Structure formats: structure tokens, C-alpha cells
Structure 1
């Protein structure tokens, strides 16, 4: 659309171009609509187009001092681009990955400039290759070096414990409130910006805890089953947020039940707290299978129908549970648990025929 506008000497509109690009993309690949890459790309671009002009128009200092013009304003412009993309992609990141990168806001101050160098060098190298290939090599080396530094910055951010925060999938109500806030912000003018932020931002932050509280305590009990080749795993979420896990699949290189099934389910339970793990059958590699669960959740109790036969494995399990301060509840007869009114979990111990029943 941009090239056509130049050809016909018409003014191009970035949002129209973005919409046209999305339509063409979806016509060629309709399934991309549900892909994180498509959603993140277009959300970030839309956020920059809608929010950056508002932020730069209202928050950039108006001073003409040389220090402000040469240093402060360029840095703030890059920061506003980062904030705009971050705000627009936050709901998508929380839904698909359950994480928000705080380090990215600061890293983008350098990464955006480096990517500008990378892209310009890449296009210059492409043109130079057609004219004089030796010159293209030098230009592409510059693009490679810039991209290498960008990747090292990303690796450094990933190694920091505070670089990302884990969050549950946000309720639909909160996502709508946040999107409406951003759209309202994008529509503000020079005179209405401060007034809108002064009442809309506190209102949005007041709604968030209220919605979370209501959703947490009114959500009914939920049970879900994950079918695995080695058996089934049941997840139970009780009113109030406590969760139980019945069974734990073997963690292998090609089979990751925690990463692929259990963790996404817990993220979708809105602050679900995994407090108890029940194992009707004792896995051969019980410590290895439980490790990702105990590392990421404050499990208080492990219910076993029988201990491992190997004395060394028993000792290893005791030390492992002690490290995470998990209480071991060893069953010797059929036991009924009532974690919540209206829900009864019966566990039947026994060598080779242990099982459970949920009512």
C-alpha cells in the first residue's frame, strides 16, 4: 500500500496498510490468526502506530536545550516505542506464554537501535551484492555483528531472575478493560491526555483486583483429565483456588507432561495453587518426575499408596521432599479425601492395582 501511494501520489495511512497486510496474510494462511507470531507482530505494530504518537506528543520535553535535543529526546522516543509495543502485546504474551518481560523495556533502548543498523545494513548489502559483491561482504559483516550483539543482550536478559514475571491467563473482562483503556488513550488529544490518564488509569487498576477476587471465589470446581500413554493424570481445582493433581506422568526427553499439559492448565485456573499431589502408582523415577512440579509450585503434601521398594530410592525421596518441605502421606488402606464440600476423592492403595475414584 505504501508503494502504491507513492506511485499514485496519494498519502499513505499506516493503519490501513497494516489492516490490508493482515487481510492478505490471512487469505494466504487463515490458521495464522491463532498463531502467537501473527498476533504478536500485528499487535506490536498496531500499538506503536496508535500509542507512540500520543506518548511522544504529550510526554516529550519541549525544551530546546542541546542536551535535551541530542540525548534525552532520542532515548525517550525509543523508550516510548518499546512501551507502546509492550502494552499492546501484553495480553497476547500472558495468554500464550504466561510471562511478561520487564527487562525488554530497558533492553529495547539498545536493541531497537541495533536492529535499525542490522536492517539498514542488510538492505544495503543486498543492493551492493548486485553492484559489487566484495562490498556486500563488508556490509553484511556489519549486519551480522549488530545482530550478534542484539542476541547477546537477549541472552543476558533471559539469565536474570527478575527479567520476566509469570502471570496466569487474564480473564476476558480484564483483557477488554485493558484494551478499552489503550484505545481511549490512543484517541486522546493534547488537551485531554492528562485528564484521561488521571481518571481512567486509577479506574482500571481499581477494577483489576475486584474482578480477580470475584472470579477466584465464584469459579466452580473444575476437573480435567490428561490422557498419556502410561496412564491418566487428573487435575482438580476447588473453589478458592487450591488445586490437586492425581498422578504424574514420566518426564522424558520426548514426553513432558508437566510442560505440555499440567502447567498450561494451572496457568488457566487464575492463580490456582497446586497444594497436593496424589500418586496411586509410585513411578520408578519418582524424584525425576516430581522435580518440575515441586520446583514451580508450593506443594504441601504428597500422597503415596506405597513407598519405592529400593531403600536408596526411599532415602532419595525423603531427602527430596525435605528439601521442598513437602509432607509425605503414606496410605495403607483405602482413604477418602474431602478437599471441598461436594467433592470426594477415594484412593485405593495396593501393589499393582492401586487407583482412585473422584465423586
Structure 2
């Protein structure tokens, strides 16, 4: 082929999928438009007219039709599953993912049986099951019967698919009893064989390697997740942009293919036999890893290359890449919105198309150093393509990434091949396998040490707020224009000339957008307060009119790392002015400790210590510098800029830890906001006696997650809130918020917002009004 036509088709189909995701178009609309255009194209072909552009429009319609069909079917499953919501049910099906550790147990994906005998009695689609214990590693592919409480997922009418829709997850089930395994398997035999081999390999590795290196090796070889105790290492993987080592991708498949091809070459195997054995070996490895999109893409590309080699067809790498992408999108159009899909295709595109350009314009001058230079250019090509994606998803720009990836590529290959070889030999000749794994263990220690050292360099990476979509489009468009200007165009093979003036003007426009967007983002005549959805806990972020940030509480352990830190990084928040802890219950301070390890605060304000276990547990876990701690006292006041103030209204000295919650009052213009921590009736009585005239507030953060013992009638009558915020976990075991409290709030005319229904609740407080945005729809 002279031109990579698959590229045009792939881009058109992707455009159709995106348009369908952002609109409410029905499949019949796309189908009708496709039929009309098809008829027009047929008429044009009869008269000998060109219809190639119409063909591309048809590809857009085909992409939109296929995605809308997928979404309609997913919504049908969600709607059907609503009849099982909050009910205890029994589900029979097949476990289609290996159990993974969570905070309080393990989770796995089960695909319910869809034969006629059980389909009407259980939910449809894939379900996530939560179980407390997993006693063996042979769950994958097993047929099982489980019982537990079912939670349906609410349909999202339009917009970018979330992880549930991408993976086809239609509900969650909390398993109350031990799953009952049934005879036989529910997956094809090759997948079961691959899992059985994997089990034998991992068991031998577990007997030889240190636990931390065992997790690292199986993360590199099979894509298994690391544990919570590896958080420092995971953070440094992100800072060095080497996190892809733990996501089985085309690089890993390439290592396997290269090794198998080398061995077959040494054995002088015939070409056709070599192709068959190479394909079989690679696909068996892909089945052992679970057939995720990155490995599927690599396997599909390998098949395309092998078929082209057999047929002696010369083709462009970009054509093969586009054909692999189309194949995956036909399997599931939601793959387009999956991070691993985006990263793997962006990186492969960079190496295939951007690298030759960089090599041409920055040639190596010496023979031996040229190999290192070419490797650096290849790594840089991949990083240039994935940089906006990393900023968008991880809010991170890694400056050390090209160098770190070059240094780790050979150790990574040795780890993949050596780890597989060692665990395989261990099942045949244990002594030899043990020696190989001991050597790999030392290599993994060196890799871990290098990643931790380089990731903790001050200049290794910098945090960046997520880019708005025009910036992403502008970045890739600018890169494409540069590519188009410096060499013949990849699509039409024609070279274009760009003058310095328009290019300089475009750069200036981009810089103006960058500067002014940041200016208006940080300079606003409003106060922002965000109630973060941290489950059963409290976490409140306040952005003052002067652009500085204050945090009140931080949720439970794990929530700081999983919820608060990603939010801070997404919004480019690198430092906090002050942090307030309302009281010493762990669901308020657990996440604060995790946040302060990554995002420092000028001052941490703590409530007066109490002689109880709650304070002792906090004191044992909290090690922030003494010079940056301060005990709060009633009457403290802080200027937030433009007339806004934050005041410590009360620091109660009561017996109950909840009633010892520090109460904060925020004033801005005519608006007052009252934050009450976990205050309940006794604490409210103290406030009514001490400061009754200062309790009137437009917005109230309801105490103790809205329990029946908070928000009493006298207290609410005095405040008269128009808005009531309740931070609470979905389906929590405490029954929060209480029905009595909700009734009291609504009887007084307060509009209730709950984090379990609304997600993050973002309030922009102007001098006379409050505007609210939430991250998900829900009930009031």
C-alpha cells in the first residue's frame, strides 16, 4: 500500500465513537444516516464519481452505531438489575478474573450464567464480588455459586464511559458466605491451561523470592498489582514514568517473541514452523496474563506481521497499528476510553512514526554511542506521545523518564525472561531454577533501588493540573503539524511548507491561553469549598479568595492516597496553607497522614488532646514536625483574603470524642458556613449556650455524618440552613444518615446534599450566593 488507509478508517471510527459517547443519539439514528450515505455512495460509484470522503463519513457513522449499540445493551442490563438492588440474592456463574486484595478483603469479577434456567433469577452482565478471604489461587475460570447483598449501578445516559462501562460491570455483590465451587470450568480450555501453568510458576517463585520482589516480579511478568506496603515504590514508578513495567504490554510481548525467535533460530527451525511456534508461544503467554487490551494489541499486531510475512506483503507499521486498534474496537468500542489502550497505542505510534523523524534530524555521530543515542530518541518519542495522557490521568510530568526507561529496558527484559525461565526450570529442575531466581532477586533489588533513587530526585518530575481538552487537542495537533512540516506527510506523502510567522503566532496564542487560564483559575472573587467523597469519613478542601488552600479532616486510612491526593494533583495543588483536624477519630485523620507525606502544610492545627484511646492512636501514627503543629483554641481567626475569614467558633471540652469536635465558621460577604465535624446533641447544646447569636448560616456541614443523634431541632432552628452537606459512605453499616435527621432538615426547608449520592460536592461561595456542582447524579 502506498498510503496507510487503515489510519483514515481508524480515526473516523474513533471520531464516531466519541461523538456517540457525548450525545444521546440512538443506534437507529446512526443506522439510518449510514443507509442514506451508503445509497449516495452507490449512486456516485455508478456515475464514476469519487466517493472516498463519503466512505470516511460512513466509517464515522459505523463507529457511532457500534458504540451506541454497546451502550444501549449495557443500559438494558443496568435497568434489569435494578430489580435486585439492595436484596440478598444467589448468583451462579464463572469467575473471569483472579481475586485481588482490597482494603477489607478480596474482589473478583464473576460472569453470571446466561442459560434460560437461571437468567431470569439473577442479574445480567459482569459483577464484582467482594469476599473476606481467599484460601487458594485456583479461582480463575471456576464455576461458582455465591450469595450476598447486591448493589446495582446507576446508568449514565451520556458522557465518557467510566471503568464500570468499559469493563461491562453492572453491579456489586458483598458475599456473606463462603463461595460454593461447582464442577467444571466456564472458560475455554486454553485459558484454563494458561492459568494452571501460571499457578505452578508463581508457587515456585513464592518459595524462593523475597515477598517484595515476588510481587515486583509477578507485576512485571503477569501484571499483578503491588500491595499497599509498596506505596513509596509505586509513587517513584509514576515519577520516573516506568509504571508501564507493571502493566503487561507490547514491550513484554516483544521480549517473549524476541527470545522465542532467537531460540528457534539457534535450532534452525523452518520458517513456517518458526512462525507457528512463535505465535503459539506468544499467545500462550498472553493467555497466562489474562488477555488485557495491551497484550491483545501486541498479539494482534504480531499476527498481522506474521501473515504479511507469509504473504510477502510490505506494509507500513502505522497500518498494522491501526488494524490492531480497529480489531480491539470491534471487540469492545469502550476500549477507546481505557487508559491502557490509549497509552499503548500512543507509545507505539511514537516509536513507529515519531522516532524515524527524530533519528533523521538528530543523527548519531559515533558508532557505539549511537546505539545509546537511538535508544534515547526512541524513549523520547514514546514519552512525547504519552506525556499529555500522563498529565491528564496522573497530573505528572516526568523529566527523567527518557533516561530511566533506557536504563531499565535491558534489566526489564532480563527480569521478564529470567523470571519465567527460573520459575519454569524450578518445576523441572528445582536447584537450577532456584539459582536463576536468586540472580533475578538481586536484579530486582537493583531495579527497585534505582527507581527509588531516581524517583526521589527533586527534578525527576513535577506535578501539573489536568489539561482541558482544547490543550490536549492543541498539543497533538502541534506535534502533527511539526511532523508534517519536517517530512513528507504520512497520509498523503506530500511535503508542506510552514512559515515562521504563523508558527510563532500559534505559539504565542497557546502561551496566552496557558497564562490567562491559570490566572483566572487562581484569582477569583469567590471562596471554594469542596466536600470530598471519602466514604464513611470527612474531608473538606477550602480554596480561599487569595488562592491558598486549607483542608479540614482527611477521611480514613487509604482515602488520602486514593481520593484526596489524586484530587489535589489534578488541580495542581502542591502545598496547603493550613490543615485542621476536628477530632481524633481515625475516619477523620487517617487520610491526613497520607496527604501530608506528599503535600506539605505550613501549619497543622490539632484539637486539644484528650485522655483517651483515640488520641493515643493518632499520636502514635502522626509524626509531622513539632514546629509546624499548633493546638487550636476558641476564638482563633484567619484571614482568607478579600474579606473572607475562618474562625474557630468552639473547641468543646466534653467527654465524648465526637462532641469534642472543633467547630469552624467561615464568613464571606453575606454568606456564612458552619462546619461541625462529628458534633452531636451535647456539643450542639454547648454551642447554643455559648454562641447562639452566631450560629445562623446559609450552609451547614451536618455533624456525625447525619446520624440520628446530630442536627437536633433547637440547633437547626437556630441555624436555619438553606443547604445541608452530609459526608457519608454508601450503604454504611451505621445506617447514616438517619431518617430522623433527614426529616428534620427537610422540614426546615434545607436542601440536602450527600457525598454517597453526589460524589464530590463543589461549592463556589460568592458574596451573596452559592453555586454547587457535583461529580455524579443521585437522589436528594
TM-score by length of 1: 0.72
Query: Does the residue aligned with 1:245 lie in a helix, a strand or coil?
Result: strand
Does structure 1 retain, via aligned residues, the 8 Å contact 2:387–2:397?
yes
Indicate the residue corresponding to 2:553 in structure 1. Answer: 247
Residue 325 of structure 1 and its aligned partner are, at CA, apart by 1.5
CA distance in 1, matches of 2:499, 2:368: 25
Indicate the residue corresponding to 2:452 in structure 1. Answer: 158
Indicate the residue corresponding to 1:6 in structure 2. Answer: 309
Q: How does 1:45-56 map to 2 (within 5 A)?
A: 45-56=348-359
Query: Does the residue aligned with 2:532 lie in a helix, a strand or coil?
Result: strand
Counterpart selection for 1:106 from 403, 406, 412: 403
User: Within the alignment, does 1:309 sit opposite 2:577 as a pair?
Assistant: no
**CA RMSD across the alignment:** 4.4
User: Within the alignment, does 1:226 sit opposite 2:532 as a pair?
Assistant: yes
Query: Does the residue aligned with 1:249 lie in a helix, a strand or coil?
Result: coil
Counterpart selection for 1:28 from 322, 331, 350: 331
CA distance in 2, matches of 1:357, 1:2: 63
Indicate the residue corresponding to 1:217 in structure 2. Answer: 523
Pick which of 165-174 and 11-20 moved more: 165-174
Query: Does the residue aligned with 2:673 lie in a helix, a strand or coil?
Result: strand
Cα deviations by residue, 1:290-316 (Å, 9 ceiling, x for unpaired) = 322333334244455x52312895895
Does structure 2 retain, via aligned residues, the 8 Å contact 1:111–1:150?
no
Indicate the residue corresponding to 1:236 in structure 2. Answer: 542
Residue 182 of structure 1 and its aligned partner are, at CA, apart by 1.6
CA distance in 2, matches of 1:352, 1:58: 69
Query: Does the residue aligned with 2:314 lie in a helix, a strand or coil?
Result: coil
Indicate the residue corresponding to 2:674 in structure 1. Answer: 346
Residue 87 of structure 1 and its aligned partner are, at CA, apart by 1.1
CA distance in 2, matches of 1:9, 1:293: 57
- The alpha-carbon distance between structure 1 residues 279 and 20, as it changes in their structure 2 partners (threshold 3 A), is same
Indicate the residue corresponding to 2:279 in structure 1. Answer: none
Q: Which has the higher contact order (CA 8 A, sep 6+)?
A: 1
Cα deviations by residue, 1:105-151 (Å, 9 ceiling, x for unpaired) = 113333345567788x79xx9xxx9xxx99xx99xx69x97897488
Pick which of 176-185 and 287-296 moved more: 287-296
Pick which of 147-156 and 329-338 moved more: 147-156
- The alpha-carbon distance between structure 1 residues 34 and 224, as it changes in their structure 2 partners (threshold 3 A), is farther
Residue 186 of structure 1 and its aligned partner are, at CA, apart by 1.9
Pick which of 72-81 and 267-276 moved more: 267-276
CA distance in 2, matches of 1:9, 1:147: 43
Counterpart selection for 2:593 from 291, 300, 303: 291
Structure showing greater radius of gyration is: 2
Gaps of 5+ in 2: 1-303, 488-494, 635-648, 651-662, 685-698, 702-769, 771-780
User: Within the alignment, does 1:174 sit opposite 2:471 as a pair?
Assistant: yes
Does structure 2 retain, via aligned residues, the 8 Å contact 1:78–1:112?
no
User: Within the alignment, does 1:18 sit opposite 2:321 as a pair?
Assistant: yes
User: Within the alignment, does 1:40 sit opposite 2:343 as a pair?
Assistant: yes
- The alpha-carbon distance between structure 1 residues 29 and 271, as it changes in their structure 2 partners (threshold 3 A), is same
Q: How does 1:85-100 map to 2 (within 5 A)?
A: 85-100=382-397
Query: Does the residue aligned with 1:45 lie in a helix, a strand or coil?
Result: helix
Residue 55 of structure 1 and its aligned partner are, at CA, apart by 0.7
Does structure 2 retain, via aligned residues, the 8 Å contact 1:114–1:147?
no
Residue 164 of structure 1 and its aligned partner are, at CA, apart by 3.4
Indicate the residue corresponding to 2:84 in structure 1. Answer: none
Residue 154 of structure 1 and its aligned partner are, at CA, apart by 5.5
Indicate the residue corresponding to 1:260 in structure 2. Answer: 562
CA distance in 1, matches of 2:551, 2:479: 38
Residue 79 of structure 1 and its aligned partner are, at CA, apart by 0.7
CA distance in 2, matches of 1:105, 1:71: 19
Does structure 2 retain, via aligned residues, the 8 Å contact 1:287–1:320?
no
Determine which structure has the larger helix proportion and give its number.
Answer: 1
CA distance in 2, matches of 1:148, 1:24: 40
Gaps of 5+ in 1: none
